[in-house]
Amino acid sequence: MDQRAILDHEFRVAAYIVTWVIQLSYLAWLGYRWRAQEKRGPGTRD
């Protein structure tokens, strides 16, 4: 691979990693909130 192709590859990988870090971090935060609510109060769900 030439230098340009290597850089293209690295930027593409960076974009995909950033996407997944954001999405999975948000999912983890939702999971944390869910667990915190389970401890805090019962209530019925939709």
Partner 1 sequence: MKKLLIGLYAGITILLMIWGYYQAIYVAPNDAMQGEIFRIIYYHVPSAAVAFVFFAISLAGSIGFLAYRQNAPDKAQIADAWALAGAEVGVVFCTVVLITGPIWGRRAWGIWWTWDARLTTTLVLWLIYVSYLLLRRFAAGPQMQTLAAVLGIFGALDVPIVYMSNRWWRTQHPAPVFGGGQGSGMDPSMLPAFFWNMGAWFAWGMFILILRFVIERQQQRIAAAEAQAALEA
For residue 45, give Cα distances in angstroms to 4, 20, 24, 33, 34: 53, 29, 24, 15, 12
Provide the minimum distance between the beta carbon of 46 and partner 1 in the complex, in angstroms, as a whole number.
Answer: 5
In angstroms, give the least distance from the CB of 35 to partner 1: 10
State in angstroms the smallest separation of the CB of 3 from partner 1.
12
Residues 15-34 that bind partner 1 (CB under 8 A): 15-16, 18-19, 22-23, 26-27, 30, 33-34
